Structure 1
C-alpha cells in the first residue's frame, strides 16, 4: 500500500497545477490551452553531501594611518623628564623652557597613561624617549606627518594617506650624512635674510648629526630649510640638513607646525 500511495503523488500534483493554470489563463483572457503532458512516473535522486570549501587569497588589512598626533607643550620653566614614571632620566633629567635658542619646549606624545605621558624628546641620543608629568604640559593635536627619504632625495607631507606635498630635496654629503630616525618638528624660525643660505624659514627637527657635535654655533641639530642655490636640489651637498626650494619650505611651515612627526629613512 505504501508504494501505491507514493506513486500517486507525482501524478496528482502536476494535474492540479495544470487545472489551475488553465483556469487562471481563461480568467485573464489568454484563451484555451492544451492540457499539459503528465509524466507516467517520477524518480527522485539525492546527491551525496560534500564538504564545503572556500578558495582564494586575502591580503592582510592595512591599519589606518593616523590623521592626528598628540603634542605636549611645556607650561613650566623647568620640565622634569623621567626614564619611567617616578624614575628621573639620567641622560637628561630636566629641560629648560624655553631652550637656549629661545624656542618653546615641545614633545611628541607616544602614550597617554593619565598622569604620565610617554614622549619623544628632542635631545641626544637620537630617538630618545622619556616620560613627563601631565601637570607640566598642555596637550594639543597636529594633523600631518612628514616623510624624508634620503636615498630618493624627496620629502612628502601626508594627512593620513593623502599626499599634501611631495618635492625634491638636497641631503647630507657622505662625510656628514643626514641622520635617519623618528623625529618631530621642535622649532620654526623665520629667517631675517630670506635670500640667504637658509631661505625664508628653518624648521628645526629633533634629530642630531651623528658626526658633528656642533655646527654654526649650534649643537649639530638638523633642520629643514630653504636655499639660495636651488640648482643643487636633488643632490647630496649639505652638512646633514634637508634643503628645499624656498617656496617649498614656506609651504612646509603651514603644514608642519610644532610637534609634527618627521620620519627620516634611508
Structure 2
C-alpha cells in the first residue's frame, strides 16, 4: 500500500528529531568523534565543571625570642632536627645566602631554635636547601653535623648550586661533580678510627689560609661539619671545623691518618679552590 506524502513527511521528521536528541545526549555526556585523521578524539562539554587543587596553608612563623642564640663557628645550634637523608647523593641545586640573620625553626611553623647569621668568623654563609614544605625551606646547618633548620620562604631568594663533592670513606676517594656529571676524582687520606671524618651531608663554608710546607702553600676549604668527638683531639683542634686541604706527603693517600680532615693531592686542591664556591654540598659516605 503506497505511503502518503503527509505520512512520509511526518515519519522523516520524527526520525530527524530522534537523531538530534541522541546526538545531544552523546555530546553532553562526553564521548569521542573522529577528526580528520580518523582517530577518535575526546569531546568535552563546554558546560563541564573544572576542579582546582586547593593550595596548602603556609604555617605561620612564631616570633623569635630576644635571647635566641646565634650560630657561631664553635657554637652550633641546639634543638634542630636531624637531617632526614644524611647520605643522599642526589644533587642539591639551590642554596640560601642570608642578607641578615634568619631564625631557624625545628619544623614548618615550629619553634625557633637559633639564628643563622650572614657571616661566621668572617666567612659569608651560604647553606644548601635540602627540602621544601608548605612555604618553608629546610637548610643544612653549620657547626652541627647532620642537622637541618626550617625557615619561611619569604624575604629571600635562592641562588643556584652547580657543584657537589662526594667523599667515599671506604674507597678513600673524593669526587667532584658539576650538574651531576663527574669532573675529576682523587685518592685521599681520611680520619682515623679515633678521629673520624664526619659522615653525612655538609657543605663548603668557605676557605682559610694554612701554615706549613706540608699544605703546599694552598688555602683549605672549611666545611660546615665539626669533629664528632672533639675531646679526643689536641686542644688546639677541638674548636676547629673539618676541612679539605692539600697534603704533600703522598704516602698518606689511601689511608686513615688524619684528624678528621680530608687530605688531597695539591693538584686536586688547586682545582677545587679554582672551581667550587661556598655553599657547595659535600657528602661523606661509608
- CA separation in 1, counterparts of 2:115 and 2:180? 36
Unaligned stretches of 5+ residues in structure 2: 1-88
In the comparison of the two structures, how many residue pairs are matched? 196
Aligned to 1:167: 186
Deviation at 1:253, TM superposition (A): 2.1
Output the CA distance in 1 between the equivalents of 2:133 and 2:255: 43
Q: Report which of the two structures shows the higher radius of gyration computed on alpha carbons.
A: 1
Q: Answer whether contact 2:143 2:241 (CA < 8 A) is retained.
A: no
Instruction: Tell me which residue corresponds to 1:240.
Output: 260
Offset of residue 96 of structure 1: 3.1
1:230 and 1:223 mapped to 2: Cα distance?
Answer: 18
Q: Secondary structure in 2 aligned to 1:111?
A: strand
The equivalent of 1:200 in structure 2 is 218
1:108 corresponds to which residue? 128
Aligned to 1:186: 205
Residue number among 147, 157, 170 corresponding to 2:176 in the alignment:
157
Offset at residue 135 of structure 1 (A): 4.0
**Cα distance per residue 1:43-81 (max 9 Å; x no partner):** xxxxxxxxxxxxxxxxxxxxxx966610110101x2211
Counterparts in 2 of 1:199 and 1:87: CA distance versus 1, 3 Å:
farther
CA–CA separation in structure 2 for the residues paired with 1:108 and 1:168? 26
Task: Give, in whole Å, the separation in 2 of the partners of 1:230 and 1:137.
Answer: 44
Note closer, same or farther for the CA distance 1:174–1:199 as it changes in structure 2 (3 Å cut). Answer: farther
Deviations 1:133-187, CA, capped at 9 Å, x for gaps: 3445442112121110112111001234422011110111121011111111121
Which residue does the alignment assign to 2:94? 70
User: d(CA) in 2 for partners of 1:217 and 1:177?
Assistant: 13
Aligned to 1:221, the other structure's residue is in SS state coil
The DSSP-based 3-state class of the residue aligned with 2:251 is: helix
CA contact (8 A) 1:89 1:130 kept: no
Say if 1:179 and 1:192 are closer, same or farther in 2 by CA, change over 3 A.
closer
- Pair 1:127–1:136, CA change in 2 (3 A): farther
* Deviation, structure 1 residue 239: 0.3
3-state SS of the aligned residue for 2:229? coil
**In the alignment, structure 1 residue 212 sits paired with structure 2 residue 230:** yes
CA RMSD of aligned residues (A): 2.5
Deviation, 1:114, is: 7.3
Q: Please give the TM-score of this superposition, normalised by the length of structure 2.
A: 0.61
Aligned equivalent of 2:152, options 133, 149, 173: 133
- The 5 Å alignment of 1:14-93 reads 69-76=93-100, 78-90=101-113, 93=114
Distance 1:161 1:111, change over 3 A: closer
Tell me if the contact between 2:108 and 2:133 (Cα under 8 Å) persists in the aligned partners: no
Say if 1:194 and 1:200, in contact at 8 Å, map to a contact too: no
Is the 1:199–1:228 contact (alpha carbons within 8 Å) kept by the matching residues of 2? no
Q: Which runs of 5+ in 1 are unaligned?
A: 1-64
Flag the 1:118–1:102 CA change in 2: closer, same or farther, 3 A.
same
Seen in structure 2, the aligned counterparts of structure 1 residues 177 and 193 have a Cα distance that, compared at 3 Å, is: closer
- State the Cα deviation string for residues 225-247 of structure 1 (Å, max 9, x = none): 11242332222111000011122
The TM-score, its normalising length taken from structure 1, stands at: 0.65
C-alpha contact 1:75 1:138 (8 A) present in aligned 2: no
CA drift at 1:205: 1.7
- Match of 1:249, SS state, is helix
